[in-house]
Amino acid sequence: MLAAARQGDVAARAELLRRLQDTWYRYCYSQLGDGDNARDATQETALRFLQKLETFRGESALQTWSLGIALNVCRERRRCQRSDPGTLHEHDIVPEHATPAEDRVSQSEDRTRLSELMNALPPRQREAIVLRFFQDMRLEQVADTMGCAVGTVKATINQALRSLRKRWEKHS
């Protein structure tokens, strides 16, 4: 399918987008914190993905490679918005429609706290946390996506977790 998509087969390209659209949307949503903005970013990611598909050499998984595109799109959007990492709201990390109704009330306070802590993280640490824990990527994949060394990713994630833990205990 990938070969057909690279050769311009419309059906294959549409199928690729269908498989990757949720992954991109999740990542954009976690980084931009706004449904409309995330949707626009996802569409922009799709356009760039189709444009660059011919340059994909297969050195990494297609999903990892495409998430790198989404990461760049989100970084550019954040830079354009001039609002540091894009304010995440509680419903951005745990959207209302994704949680069972009975859990919503009890989890509301914790969600607020978690969203505040995530907002306080530097953009790089937030990217690493989302890719590693929310997207379930391996460290090598995170490093590929972020364009840095595995050691850098480890250090970044450790810093982020330490910061989250410290602030969580402080709030508790």
Partner 1 sequence: MSELRDNLGRAKRAHQALRYPGNLAADVGQMILAPARAMPAIKPVRRNAWRWVLLGTGVAGTGIAATLALIVVIVVGAAHKRSQRLAMINSQAPQPLPAISLSGLPPLSLPSASFAQPARVSRDDTETNLFVGLPSLHDLPSISPDVPYTPISDSTQEPSS
Residue 151: CB minimum distance to partner 1, A? 23
CA atoms within 13 A of residue 109's CA, in its CB half-sphere: 4
The count of residues interacting with partner 1 (CB under 8 A) is 40
Question: Which 8-state DSSP code applies to residue 138?
Answer: -
- CA nearest 42: which of 63, 71, 64, 65? 71
How far is C-alpha 53 from the chain's CA centre?
20
| 13 touches partner 1 (CB under 8 A) | yes
Interaction between residue 41 and partner 1 (CB under 8 A) = no
Closest CA to 164 of 132, 137, 142: 132
Distance, in Å, from the CA atom of 57 to the CA atom of 94, rounded to the nearest integer, reads: 35
Stretch that binds partner 1, among 36-44, 57-65, 139-147, 149-157 (CB under 8 A): 36-44
**CB-based contact 145:68 (threshold 8 Å):** yes
Site string for partner 1, 58-97 (x = CB under 8 A): -----------------------------------xxx--
Position among 63, 75, 81, 113 found at the interface with partner 1 (CB under 8 A): 113
Stretch touching partner 1 by CB under 8 A, among 39-47, 58-66, 74-82, 149-157: 39-47
Nearest to 28 by CA among 49, 12, 8: 49
Which residues here bind partner 1, judged by CB under 8 A? 8, 10, 13-14, 17-18, 21-22, 24-26, 29-30, 35, 39, 42-43, 46-47, 50-51, 93-95, 98-99, 107, 110-111, 113-114, 130, 133-134, 136, 164-165, 168-169, 172
